[in-house]
Structure 1
Amino acid sequence: MADALTALQTRHASELAAHKAAMAKLPKKKRWEIPSLDEAIATRHADELRAAQANAANVTSGQVAHGGDKVNGDGGGDSSDEDDLLARMARRAEEEEQEQEQETRKQSGEDEQEKERLAAQKKKDKAAKKREKKAAEEAAKAAAREAEQAAIDAMGPSARAMEAEAVATALGARGLRRKEIASDGHCLYRSLSHQLERVGASDVHDYTSLRKLAATQLRANKDAFEPFALDAAEAIGLSGDDWYGEYCNSVENTAAWGGQVELQALAQALRRRIVVVCADAPDVVCGDDFAEDGALTVVYMRHAFGLGEHYDSVE
């Protein structure tokens, strides 16, 4: 029986070590349970020890009463009781180990869920802050625009407003209105591309195709265009022996603004009349030897944008 008590004490020591290790791993939100868990294992160990000691005393007593000899169940011996106690103790230890494993898995799952919840909340908070920042920026921009417009209004009609009104009047007399085109350096070519679509041309081009077409026409007719391109080339800083070739390359491959030289080149290449409507001057006609039917109409604006000259289309 001494061996059984020693085995019980050894198991208790092992369980206490495992219990302390498990308690050390509990998350902060669960540590309030540690005192009750400590008390529960201590109580169970004490009950098991008392039961084992009582059983040992009974066995010893029985041995003394029968001359120190163990007897079978018919003679009142406790061998089967001892085996049953040890079996129950082993089962209980196994059950507690399983319960501890289940608790550990449960805790691990809860920790993982908590991590996922915190990550989702963090992502949600970040998105909300981003939306708030964007809304604040938009509000600031709107306020700045309103303040700028208020200052402009206080100064009376601007050159831009007067120019827009004059163009609207000129176009209205022809049953047209201005169609605004993006001010990105390609406005002349985008306007003409829109006009080709408007008149139902079979040779519709986008702005990149029109740039290439203009450059090809300029290269093929250098003698005719070179004298008129010099000012435009100097304006963009071109000089040297091959300034004209560089100018043609800039027409084709950059966002350099187009002007009357490019309008004349495109009128010839497209074989179409191009009419340029201005606010404060008579119309400029390029390719006037071509038919009026199917003419392309664009608007020249001097004050539309702070960057300067700009072309719009009409509709």
Structure 2
Amino acid sequence: MEDQADNRSEVISENGSDQKQETREEMLSRHRKETSDLQNKEIALKKAAAKGSKAEQKAKKKQVDEEISQLSTKLKEKQAEELSSLGYSSTTDKQKGNLDNLVKAIAGVSVTNQTEQSKPRKSVKKREKRAQEEAAREQRIQEEQNNIVSDRMIENEKLEQKLEPLGYTINEIKPDGHCLYRAVEDQLALQSGGSSPYNFQELRQMVAAYMRNHVSEYLPFFLSENMADGESEDSLTERFENHCKEIESTAAWGGQLELGALTHCLKKPIMIFSGSFPDVEMGKEYKSGALNASIMLSYHKHAFGLGEHYNSVLPNSFQ
């Protein structure tokens, strides 16, 4: 019973009066959901701010950034306080000691009792060893969450400085793993003046079919990213086929290989703007004047803690 109690953390609610018992896994899961909810709120606020004159949009965007920054700071402080109940603290000078405490908390070992024993039991040492990797991982996640807001703001500022002189703005796309295909769908709808000829799921199926039909072109690039020592070509070919299946039937995130396939499927150039990397234009061979306008996307490395992200880039006149 003591081990079970030690493996739980006591979370104090914001009003300071109510208390409830919450396991470490439940706490970390809740933290991730809180972060995701804040990111969704940011998207909703930015969409609502993208109305009115250019000056009004700029003022609203600044208010949104300030509000999200304040909410993010409060959330990080609250989560850090809750994590401290597991023995974790982000203070740099005490990092090693705090990591040791977090290991003990994850392993279900009382930090106080441990210091009172001259020789820890073998079972305790074994549990601490098993917890070491997990503790380091949780600490890394927390540090990344602490950094992501500032990184995102810097990236967004650089991207805005790049797009504003061109008369472009960003249309936020839902961060659900389909963002690349949804952003392309949004661009196709813009170019058609109505609905897109293909929805995001159809675009996924087109990409998977194209890559299967041109396996000799895509397999070398796939191998360079996925090849492991001692792995046979047959097993890699099977993994490539599994990758194609994931493209067409799951929410697997799209990257450079899928972007290249999209240019050929649609026979359109694709321009990718970024605040973290140089801009990239793919499918230049399909440029043929105004009748074949480029699909314009923005790539965000620090958009969300859940992963990298793509948005659709629109002329200001369409906002």
TM-score by length of 1: 0.49
Judging by fraction of residues, say which structure has more strand: 2
Whose radius of gyration is greater, 1 or 2? 1
Structure-2-length-normalised TM-score: 0.48
